[in-house]
């Protein structure tokens, strides 16, 4: 018969039991060797539960059945300080691992990831079942659905093949469209995290590419190249528009990220610099421009920009002095020419 006091009100060691239980659930989640730790700690909890008085010394703890030296030390940490080092450590590890897992979902940033963690979500399954009543944006739903594919980078050959398919479909709409592949691909990297496409139209015949995304995007969906939209341009008829989505080479292929940026033809050079990157290279070039009294962005190099002395916010756009080619921008900034493959860490 149970001579302890399990059924009669709370244990005098309730705080200890609560913390040991938290440790058990982390051990269980970790699996492997920790499963054994979970079992041992559960046995210890059961004896602590039946102990009729407050534990006050390590010796007293050690005398309880299934309570070993390590558990006794943990118990005494709680008795003395109110918390257990090991639990704090395991919790901080768990929190960083889970937050990282959640941040791997497209559209989920560290804030949301931490919020979900604090609501008790621990696995992608918890996210799928919307545990805790969380809400997912359409982009996050797609990110979750293709979680595994989207963790991977593709070979540059695959990026090129998808790009070639897109370019030929674009040329069915208008032969004069100019498309090029940017980002890590243009920098010559072996693998690409996504496909970055710059799109414009030569302006010799005074026509533009305005409205092309309105035709192109549905066509790409029909061909099964695009399989989901993450962010649709506000105004697809604008000369400057950005599309973000998911694509794949064929029905059996892995799902990849794609960005399509459309720009006015005369901004080609500035856009080329921006979209080629890498982001660190862009930052240093922009900083350099600023030191010389210019301002560089994806639209061009500007002179006479005025910034509010207090906020540093631009209050006068300045005059566009270069944007057609990369070279003229490099030249004005007196930066030696750098091949795309040199523009990386």
Longest dimension (CA), the chain: 96
Is 74 one of the catalytic residues? yes
d(CA 51, CA 49): 6
Binds ligand DCP (CB under 6 A): choice among 245, 277, 300, 340: 277
Q: Choose among Mn ion, Mg ion, ligand DCP, none what residue 277 binds, the Cβ cut-off being 5 to 8 Å by kind.
A: ligand DCP
User: Rule CB under 6 A: is residue 193 a binding residue for ligand DCP?
Assistant: yes
d(CA 176, CA 207): 10
Q: Choose among Mg ion, ligand DCP, Mn ion, none what residue 278 binds, the Cβ cut-off being 5 to 8 Å by kind.
A: ligand DCP
- E strands of the chain, at which residues? 154-155, 177-181, 191-192, 194-201, 226-231, 241-247, 256-262, 294-297, 300-303, 306-307, 314-316, 319-322
From residue 214 to residue 253, the character string flagging contacts with Mn ion as x (rule: CB under 5 A) and all else as - is: ----------------------------------------
Q: Choose among Mn ion, ligand DCP, Mg ion, none what residue 143 binds, the Cβ cut-off being 5 to 8 Å by kind.
A: none
Q: Choose among Mn ion, ligand DCP, Mg ion, none what residue 282 binds, the Cβ cut-off being 5 to 8 Å by kind.
A: ligand DCP
User: Rule CB under 6 A: is residue 196 a binding residue for ligand DCP?
Assistant: yes
Shortest approach of ligand DCP to residue 231 CB, angstroms? 13
Helix count and strand count (H, E) for the chain:
15, 12
Binds ligand DCP (CB under 6 A): choice among 262, 282, 297, 323: 282
**Angle formed by the axes of helices 14-30 and 85-103, to 10°?**
40
> Which position among 74, 85, 128, 175 bears the catalytic label?
74
List interacting residues with ligand DCP (CB under 6 A).
183-184, 192-194, 196, 274-275, 277-279, 282
């Amino acid at each position: 018969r149970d001579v302890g006091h399990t059924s009669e009100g709370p244990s005098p060691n309730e705080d200890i039991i609560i913390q040991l239980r938290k440790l058990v659930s982390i051990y269980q989640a970790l699996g492997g060797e920790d499963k054994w730790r979970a079992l041992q700690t559960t046995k210890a909890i059961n004896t602590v539960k039946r102990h009729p008085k407050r534990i006050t010394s390590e010796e007293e703890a050690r005398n309880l059945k299934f309570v070993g030296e390590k558990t006794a030390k943990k118990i005494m940490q709680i008795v003395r300080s109110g918390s257990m080092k090991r639990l704090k450590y395991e919790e901080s590890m768990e929190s960083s691992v889970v937050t990282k897992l959640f941040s791997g979902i497209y559209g989920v940033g560290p804030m949301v990831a931490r919020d979900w963690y604090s609501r008790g979500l621990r696995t992608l399954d918890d996210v799928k079942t919307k545990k805790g009543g969380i809400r997912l944006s359409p982009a996050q739903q797609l990110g979750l659905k293709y979680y595994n594919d989207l963790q991977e980078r593709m070979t540059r050959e695959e990026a090129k093949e998808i790009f070639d398919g897109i370019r030929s479909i674009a040329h069915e709409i208008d032969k004069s469209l100019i498309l090029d592949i940017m980002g890590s691909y243009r920098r010559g990297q072996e693998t690409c995290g996504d496909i970055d496409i710059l799109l414009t139209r030569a302006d010799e015949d005074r026509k533009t590419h305005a409205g092309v995304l309105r035709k192109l995007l549905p066509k790409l969906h029909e061909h099964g190249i695009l399989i989901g939209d993450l962010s649709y341009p506000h105004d697809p008829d604008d000369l400057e528009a950005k599309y973000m989505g998911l694509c794949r080479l064929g029905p059996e292929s892995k799902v990849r990220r794609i960005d399509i940026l459309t720009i006015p033809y005369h901004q080609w050079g500035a856009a080329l610099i921006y979209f080629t990157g890498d982001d660190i290279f862009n930052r240093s070039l922009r900083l350099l421009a600023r030191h010389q009294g210019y301002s560089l962005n994806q639209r061009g190099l500007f002179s006479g920009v005025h910034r509010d002395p207090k906020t540093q916010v631009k209050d006068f756009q300045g005059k566009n002095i270069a944007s057609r080619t990369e070279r003229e921008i490099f030249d004005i900034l007196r930066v030696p020419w750098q091949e795309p493959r040199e523009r990386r860490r």
